[in-house]
Amino acid sequence: MLNEDIRQQMVDEYDLSTSGGQALSGILSGFTRKYSKDFTYSLVDYQWVGDQIQYRLHPASGYIDELRERLEVVA
Residue-wise pLDDT tens digits, 40-66: 777 778 888 888 888 888 777 777 787
Domain count, the chain: 1
Residue 4's pLDDT is what?
A: 81
Show the domain range for 36: 3-74
pLDDT single digits (tens) 8-24: 887 888 887 776 656 66
Closest CA to 31 of 21, 46, 23, 41: 41
Closest CA to 29 of 9, 49, 53: 53
Residue 49's pLDDT is what?
A: 87
Residue 21's pLDDT is what?
A: 59
- Quick check: 43 and 61 in contact, CB under 8 A? yes
Distance between CA 20 and CA 6 in Å, rounded? 10
Tell whether the model's pLDDT for residue 25 goes beyond 80: no
* Run of H or E including 64: helix 63-74
Distance between CA 22 and CA 38 in Å, rounded? 21
